[in-house]
Structure formats: C-alpha cells, structure tokens
Structure 1
Amino acid sequence: MEKFHTSQHTEIPVTSRELGPLRLRYAYARSRETQLDGEAGQDYLSYLFKDGQLSFSICDGVSMSFCGQLASKYLGEELVSFMEKADCSGTEGAGMQRELQQVMKEITAPATEMINRYELPASIGGLFREVLEEKRRIGSETTFVCGRVRTASNQEDGGLELVLAWMGDTKIRLWQDAVERSDRLSGDFSKWNRWSTLKGSMGEGPFVYKTTLRPRGAASINRIQIYTDGLHAYDEWTRPPGDEELMQLVREAYASPDSDDLTFLELSW
C-alpha cells in the first residue's frame, strides 16, 4: 500500500513512481506570490495505491471563497476514500455519480464545523480579517477531478477499468501514444461547477467518464494527464512533454505575470 498527499506549503519537482502496471508523474508548485508570502497553496493532490488499485484526486481551492485551501484538502481526502470503495457498475458510471452527489452533500456538516473552528493567523487583521470573516459564513469552495484505475472484471487481456469524475475547469487530457483523444470526454468544464463546504455541489455535475483500457488495440488510450490552471501554458502543446520540458513549464509558470498554483498528474501504462 502507498498513500500520498501534497503538503500545501512545499513544492514538488517532477517526480515519477511505478505502481503496478501504472507509471505516475506529478509535480506541485504554489504561485510566486504565495511562495514569497509563505502561505499555503490552494491545490491539493492525493492518491492511494492499495491491492493493485489506484484512487486519486486533484482539488483546486477557489480563492474568492473562505480559505480555499481548506476545502481542497478536506474534499481531496474524502474523494480518495470514496473512490477506493465506490460502486462504478453500469456502462456510464451513473450509480457512482449518484453516490458521489450524496456523499458531497453528507460531508457538508463536518466540513462546515471544520471551517467554523479554523483560526485565522494572528498576523491577519483590520479590513482583510473582516472580509475573511464575512466569507467564512458562505464557506470554502473547491473544484476537483478524482478517479480510479484497477484491473477490469472479466478481462483476460490485462485490461484496466478507468473511471473519472469532475466538477470545475481542471484540465483532463487523454492520449493514445502522441495522439490526443480528449474529445472522448463529454461534460462541462466550467469553473462555476464546484463543491462548497456549506452547500455541497454547486452548478452542474459531477460529470463521469468510464472506459476500459486495453494493452492492445488502435483505439486504446494509454496516457491521462490532469492539471490545474497554473499550468495553462501546456494547453497549447500537441504532444506530451518530457520530464525536463515539464519542469521548464513549471519554472515559466512561476515567472509568469499571472502565476497561479499548479498541480500536474499523469498516469500512463
């Protein structure tokens, strides 16, 4: 078993891990301003590899809500626990979608209690503190992508079952070698779709994508990339980056005038 989550105060350079048939690459970096101020990033990456199954989540806290890093960390851990045991039966994962909607509603009570207990740093005062206390009343919010990969049932060719769920504008890109197949995803990627510690799901979703990944076959994808808006420069790329190229994108994101927190996760097999 391997369990991992990012510290919201520490950068992670491009890192690779081999977990069963899967190869993971991930990176994490706070925005330039957040690093200089020594504050917590609002992104959160977490995964659990257990009994040959990988469950994972990426959450991007909403900066205009109350301390978005709180919602992203809280929901991120809940999503990994949910994906570990979720019922993904059915061709479109409809059962999991309903179950996830219910879970996101049920956890609002303990999440709101967590928000109400949270003590703002003593260094925050004046008008800024008043604004944050006003925001506390409407809760903390986050967008997310979560998923699971495991050996598909009744598959003799080593096929893997993939299920993804998301709300928000975090990017998901699917690849068949160097050919992008992201058009297979259907659903809205609006930033207004999100989870709130007070209200539960907001907007539309969650959206679900489910497929079987086979080691052979012209139509099979073999790489998934998920990344938050801090790495938006990668949107223009038409091929997967190498490790050094990815690290260069991270460095350029830090130097950019619109520097933002970024998280990158890639699964390949």
Structure 2
Amino acid sequence: MNPLLSLLPASKRKGMNARLAQHFAYISSQTGDQPLSSHLSRFLCRYGYGRSAESASMGESGQDFAAVRIHKSVCCFVLCDGVGLSYRGDFAARYLGSSLLDWLEEGRDLSADQLRMHLERLASTATEELNRQPLGHESGLMRSVLEDKRRQGSQSMYICGRIELPKRGTRGRLRLAWQGDSRLRLWNGTEEISELFDHTFSTAERWSTSRGPIGGKPHWYERSIPADMAMRLQVYSDGLSDLDPIREPVPDEQIQVLLDASHTGGLDDDAAFIELQW
C-alpha cells in the first residue's frame, strides 16, 4: 500500500488502490467556498478555501487564490493573497497565481533572477488586462476615484513552488518563492524546519500590476529531496492564522472548523489552504 494512504482517514482510504491518479488539478473559485478536500497520488494534497464573512454576505469575490497541479512525480502550486486596499486585489491574485503556475510548470531556468524578470514582464500584460476590466456603473467623483486607483495598480502577495520527487538513482528538487506575509511551513518527517524562513515575511513585499515586485526582491529557497525522507509542506493565508502555533498534523475536520469559523460568526479574512506530503 502507498505509505501516504495511512495518513488518510479510513473512510477516504476505502476504494483506493495502486492505480492512483497520476494527474490532478485544483483551482480555487473566488466566488464560493471549497470544503477541505484531499487528493492522493505520489503526493497527498489537502486543500480548502473560504471567503470572509463580509465577502460572503455581500456576494463579493474572495481576495485569495490557490491552485495545485500534479503530473506524476511533479507538483506545482501557488497561493496568492490579494491586497484589499489596492484596486481589485482579487484580480491581481488570480492573474498572478495563474501566471506563476504556468511558469513553474514549464520548469525552464527556474531561479530567483528568472522569477524576478518574469514578474517584471508580467506587470505590463496585467495592466493591459486590468484596464479592460469594467469599472461598473459608477459615475462622477466615484468613477474618477476608481480610475485613479486602477492607475495605481492591483496588488497581491504570493507563495509558489515546484516539487520534483526523487527518481531511481537521483535526488528530487524543491523550489519555493514568496513575497508577503502568508504562511510557509516545512517539515522533515515530524521536525518542523520553518525557521529557515524566519524574518522573510513582510506585508510591505508584494507584486503590483503597475510596478512588478515591490518592497524587495522575491525570496527564493531551493534544496534537494533525498529518496528516503518524508516531508510535509503547508501554506495558508492569514485567514487561517489559528494554525500558526500548531506543529502536529491537523485533522481534516479541525481545519474545516477553522474554514467555517462558525464559532466566531465567520472568517474575518479570506482563507486559502494547501498542504502537500510526500
């Protein structure tokens, strides 16, 4: 049996066998919630999405965006947190996230410098697309204010990565990149090693449709993956900050409680969650 099967509840293991899906794709809907769900292949992937109580009650899109693509032994993922005070943070999160996912899947010349150049080039095409987005039915002073905000650009923070599992006789590769204050956590087996990323998270760092990366250069982390090492990677936006002090694996139902936030009348902020184990 695939060793990752033992990490799933018995109800989810039922019916799973050696013919596990080799391809998987998840893209969050910003107009609805995604209950905590799991996918098992050579990776165990858990993912979920929840809009803030305010966004849900007003029928607005969430500012977060999350996506995962798995093709056999390669997994690419992205989690973006749109900046609400910018113009259409939901647009920036979706546009940036989709582009980063495509860039990671191509897998050519992946490096911090190449990422920076990609994000700088992306700003011009994003601005063109943003300018095509309708302003709505506002007129007069309100329309002038919105036009000015649109000129200043739409912004988003992000975490993204590409995981290449070890093949016979060779090690795998893990690459991660980020700007902003979304959570990025990593475990070797049961030992959390997230201190590797200490002092690299700041709300002043993000990507802008008008300026590209701002507040600093993208942070980049790269390492090999030994064949005999179990690892766990967890990324989530600040709507799930209650997870911050928890170092042990969290059951599905407890993460769902945090996504529902029924104990507090709904989420104070949008929440996106991705966890990968291999």
TM range (shorter): 0.7 to 0.9
Q: Aligned to 1:263, which of 272, 275, 278?
A: 272
Residue 149 (structure 1) aligned to one of 144, 147, 163: 163
Task: Give the alignment of 1:98-177 within 5 angstroms.
Answer: 98-122=113-137, 129-152=143-166, 156=169, 159-177=171-189
Deviation string 1:63-108 (CA, Å, 9 cap, x unpaired) is: 01001000110010110111112346xxxxxx61000100111111
2-side partners of 1:130 and 1:258: how far apart?
32
- State the Cα distance separating 1:253 from its structure 2 match: 7.4
Where do 1:9-48 residues align within 5 Å? 9-19=31-41, 21-48=42-69
- Cα deviation 1:223-264 (Å, max 9, x = unaligned): 110000111111122322111111112222783687100001
- Give the TM-score normalised by structure 1: 0.87
1:253–1:259 contact (8 Å) kept in structure 2: no
How far, CA to CA, are the matches of 2:121 and 2:198 in structure 1?
Answer: 27
Residue pair 2:165, 2:225 contacting (<8 A) in 1 also: no
Compute the displacement of 1:132 (Å): 2.6
Long gaps (5+) in structure 2: 1-22
Unaligned residue ranges in structure 1 (runs of 5+)? 89-94
Tell me by how many angstroms 1:2 deviates.
3.1
Q: Percent identity?
A: 34
In structure 1, C-alpha distance between the alignment counterparts of 2:26 and 2:267, rounded to whole Å: 29
8 Å CA contact 1:253–1:260 kept in 2: the answer is no
CA RMSD of aligned residues (A): 2.2
Q: Residues 241 and 116 (structure 1 numbering): CA distance in 2 closer, same or farther, change over 3 Å?
A: same
Q: Is the 8 A contact 2:53 2:266 kept in 1?
A: no
Distance 1:24 1:169 in 2: 22
Secondary structure, counterpart of 1:236 in structure 2: coil
Alpha-carbon distance, 1:58 to partner: 0.6
Task: Name segments (4+ residues, structure 1) moved above 4 Å.
Answer: 124-130
TM (norm. structure 2) is: 0.85
Contact 1:173 1:226 in 2 (8 A): yes
Counterpart CA distance in 1 for 2:24 and 2:55 is 29
Q: 1:204 to 1:254 in 2, by over 3 A?
A: farther
Aligned residues: 256
